[in-house]
């Protein structure tokens, strides 16, 4: 099974795995399934009122929650 990768600039290696780390550089909590991640996102919304996405991580292939990276 082939996965097509788009070439990424190598100047910022963190960019490739940014979804795996917080802005502080610490790894995010991994969730094994999408539903676990979504439950956690729901909880964060309930407790803190923060709107988070659940997404599959390209780095560890598990799920994380967080805001989408749109810049940097």
User: Given the rule CB under 5 A, which residues bind Zn ion?
Assistant: 20, 57, 59-60
Least distance (Å) from Zn ion to the CB of residue 67?
A: 15
Cα separation, 14 vs 25, whole angstroms: 9
Least distance (Å) from Zn ion to the CB of residue 46?
A: 24
Least distance (Å) from Zn ion to the CB of residue 29?
A: 9
CB 41 within 8 A of CB 65: yes
The continuous run of DSSP H or E covering 38 comes out as helix 34-48
**Smaller CB separation from Zn ion, 27 or 45:** 27
């Amino acid at each position: 099974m082939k996965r097509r990768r788009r070439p990424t600039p190598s100047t910022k290696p963190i960019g490739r795995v940014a979804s795996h780390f917080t802005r502080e550089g610490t790894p995010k909590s991994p969730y094994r399934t999408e539903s676990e991640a979504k439950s956690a996102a729901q909880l964060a919304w309930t407790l803190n009122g923060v709107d988070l996405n659940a997404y599959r991580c390209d780095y560890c292939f598990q799920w994380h929650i967080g805001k989408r990276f749109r810049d940097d």
